[in-house]
Amino acid sequence: MAETRLTKEQMEAKAAQPGIDAMRLHPFYKGKVEVVPKCVVRDFSDFAIWYTPGVAKPCLDIKANPEKVFEHTNKGNFVAVLTDGTRVLGLGDIGPEASMPVMEGKALLFKYLGGVDAFPICIDEKDPDKFIEIGLALQPTFGGFNLEDLSQPKCFHILDTMRARAHIPVWHDDQQGTAAIIFAGLVNAVKFVGKSLQGVKIVLIGAGAANIRAAHVMYKGGVPWENMILLDSKGTLHRGRTELQDDFKEKWELCLITNGDQVKGGIPEAMRGADVVIGASKPGPGVIKPEWVTAMAKDSIVMPCANPVPEIWPWEAKEAGARVVATGRSDFPNQVNNSLGFPGIFRGTLDVMATTITDEMCIAAALELAKVAEDKGLREDYIIPSMNEWEVYPREAVAVGLKAIEQGVARRKLSPEELLKTAEEKIRRAREETHLLMKEGFIVPAPGA
């Protein structure tokens, strides 16, 4: 692992380079997504079809049968990326305008990886109930909502309320997306080391949106509640943490059902004898110490997912005894990356016109994502696919669509073959469209690129 041992200066320079490039390229392109036509415009007479007077006919058809909106418009492929800018990429509450570059980036990933037309909607409203009302009022336009970068604990209230009241799927990527990818990595890592989901002891460092939802997904995926220990900044969650009863109900609920041995203390006490540790806390290094990894069970799994610096460097975890290590960074093996999930999950959701995205649909996507890696052969440095393995996304879409049909939340019922064909065509079209625009000079390279 010597080749990955960069000096502090090298790490700082490497971490700084994307920001330097971003400051050069964002002003050049003035954004990352735009609207382009998808219908023919042979001459100006075609506007009589696409606009007045011809457009009146599909309008009246929709008025008579509202479900026809999916037939006459692109609503079924439109997703709103909704945020208030209160918890942006570790930057915190930077406001809705400053969150726009992130939401545009999300929309770009949606399109290129999933063939989904996503729009950044940055809302100048911090009151969660008002935010909910604004979001719900946008339903006529969109086929789904992706909640993004909302502060906690209101993010739980917003997701739960909108999921209950909306008639289109609502998803919070910082909760469900992160949880799905963590679960995919966990499934394969546990399988690789010869253990079982039912038998492993799991420590989750950080009790925010990501790990709280990950705990729920892992439970539904087969991990007993009592085998999980969560920690926040004050230590382990256990039944004695009564201060959480009124202040943070999601944490308090986990205090009552997790941590079967009622372990008290901090990270070292929780990690002692554990099979798996998952970090979704503050950036490191040093949040997880090597000696704590050494105290874990044999063939331990360490997933320090904080960005930009993991809670412990991968080589430190390996030298301390970890068998498998995964991080949130692309420059180390086994990247736990949300972009492996949401494009394919939404693709499958939209293709069957699902009314919601259930935890079971997330688990179906995670298991299919894990299966992609398993099909190619699991290794210590390959327990989860990477973004450039494009087959991940249509395969996830099929798994999600079939689960939605099975659970009775799909408006359309398609066969596995139909789902795969639909997803592949839409994803391939999005990628080829981008490459064609580059080839023909409509998307031009920046000077010096």
Distances (CA, A) of 300 to 186, 293, 380: 11, 8, 11
Listing from the earlier edge strand, what are the strands of the sheet with 117-122?
117-122, 78-83, 144-147, 170-172
Angle subtended by helix axes 209-220 and 249-257, to nearest 10: 40
Predicted TM-score of the model (pTM)? 0.93
Instruction: Tell me the torsion sign for CA atoms 69, 71, 72, 73.
Output: positive
Q: β-pairing, 117-122 with 78-83?
A: parallel
Class of domain 176-325: alpha beta
CA pair distance 105, 32, nearest whole angstrom: 7
What pLDDT is stored for residue 177 in this prediction?
93
> H or E element: which one contains 146?
strand 144-147
- DSSP state at residue 44: G
275 is in an annotated binding site: no
Active site residue 51: yes
Distances (CA, A) of 142 to 16, 166, 167, 184, 341: 36, 11, 11, 29, 20
- Residues 273, 266: contact at Cβ < 8 Å? no
Q: Which of 14, 38, 51, 439 is catalytic?
A: 51
| Other CB atoms within 10 A of residue 73 CB | 16
User: What is the torsion angle, in degrees rounded to the nearest 10, for the CA atoms of residue 234, residue 313, residue 177 and residue 135?
Assistant: 60
331 is in an annotated binding site: no
Q: β-pairing, 78-83 with 144-147?
A: parallel
CA pair distance 34, 208, nearest whole angstrom: 34
pLDDT in tens, the chain (449 residues): 444 566 667 766 776 788 888 899 999 999 999 999 999 999 999 999 999 999 999 999 999 999 999 999 999 999 999 999 999 876 889 999 999 999 999 999 999 999 999 999 999 999 999 999 999 999 999 999 999 999 988 999 999 999 999 999 999 998 999 999 999 999 999 999 999 999 999 999 999 999 999 999 999 999 999 999 999 999 999 999 999 998 889 999 999 999 999 999 999 999 999 999 999 998 888 999 999 999 999 999 999 998 878 999 999 999 999 999 999 988 899 999 999 999 999 999 999 999 999 999 999 999 999 999 999 999 999 999 999 999 999 999 999 999 999 999 999 999 999 999 999 999 999 999 999 999 999 999 988 76
Active site residue 413: no
359 is in an annotated binding site: no
What pLDDT is stored for residue 3 in this prediction?
45
Residue 285: asked if its preceding bond is cis (omega within 30°), the reply is yes
259 is in an annotated binding site: no
Q: Which of 106, 111, 201, 403 is catalytic?
A: 106
Assign a CATH topology to domain 19-173.
Rossmann fold (3.40.50)
Please name which of 117, 177, 146 lies closest in space to residue 426, comparing C-alpha atoms. 117
DSSP string, 274-329: -SEEEE-SS--SSSS-HHHHHTS-TTEEEEE--SSS-SS-HHHHHHTTEEEE-BS-
- Residues 335, 328: contact at Cβ < 8 Å? yes
CA pair distance 118, 110, nearest whole angstrom: 6
- DSSP state at residue 410: B
CB burial string 236-275: b at 16+ within 10 A, e below: bbbeebeebeeebebbbebbeebbeeebeeebebbbeebb
CA pair distance 262, 21, nearest whole angstrom: 48
* Domain ranges across the chain: 19-173, 176-325, 341-374+389-439
388 is in an annotated binding site: no
57: left (phi over 0), alpha (psi -120 to 50) or beta: alpha
Distances (CA, A) of 83 to 95, 106, 151, 177, 212: 9, 12, 10, 15, 20
